[in-house]
Amino acid sequence: MRTQGRPKVALVPYPAQGHVTPMVQLASALNRLGFQPVLINPQFIHSQLSCTAVSEDDGNVVMFMSIPDGLDDDQPRDFFAISHFMENIMPLHLDQLLRSFDSRAEGLAFVVVDLLASCAISVAERCRIPVVGFWPAMYATYTIVKAIPDFIQKRLISAID
């Protein structure tokens, strides 16, 4: 497991289906580019993942870390619980975790934030860590837009209003 000397990148997905998997894929791509990705999830998502690290073919690792979610075991993980977590619980714990990288002299090159987890943007900015947004649906949208000329050529859609 090689991690030393590689710039660390924190990734913060929105804790819902269709958001975590694309962020894991992005983490894997960043890993191949020479970064040390650390995926940060709330405990209720982290406990559903089957590992705390994924080893890539080249011996590098995608790390998984969790932050407390403040939810009781019997509490439903619905939209309202996730919203409460995102607005009231995540910012404090994420701030502490991001700052802990600096206190261990590891530092973070930047943070990737799912745009639905936008409160993480202000946390990264407060910690003075560069932050970029990630929108999982963007690739699907781009693929559709890119296919429009083919759709028109095949007369699946009309080019005229």
| pLDDT tens, position by position, 34-71 | 999 999 998 877 666 656 555 556 566 889 998 988 87
pLDDT digits (tens, 9 = 90+) for 104-145: 667 899 999 999 899 999 999 999 999 999 998 877 788 888
Using alpha carbons, list the distances in angstroms from residue 130 to 16, 103, 116, 140, 150: 24, 17, 18, 26, 39
Distant-in-sequence, close-in-space partners of 76: CB < 8 Å, separation ≥ 6 = none
Q: Could you give the CA distance from residue 94 to residue 73 in angstroms, rounded to a whole number?
A: 21
**What is the residue extent of each domain of the chain?**
8-153
In whole angstroms, give the CA distance from residue 56 to residue 62: 8
12-16, 44-48, 76-80, 104-108: which has the minimum mean pLDDT?
Answer: 44-48
Helix (H), strand (E) at residue 41: strand 36-42
Which pair of structure tokens corresponds to residue 40? 């940060």
For 60, which DSSP code?
B
Helix (DSSP H) and strand (DSSP E) numbers for the chain: 6, 6
Task: Return the residue matching tokens 């939209």.
Answer: 79
Strand 131-134 and strand 61-67: pairing? unpaired
Q: What is the separation of C-alpha 65 from the centre of its chain, rounded to a whole number of angstroms? A: 11
Q: Measuring CA to CA, which residue among 125, 127, 122 is closest to residue 101?
A: 127
Q: What is the pTM of this model?
A: 0.78
Among the four given CATH numbers 3.40.50.720, 3.40.50.2000, 3.40.640.10, 3.40.250.10, the one describing domain 8-153: 3.40.50.2000
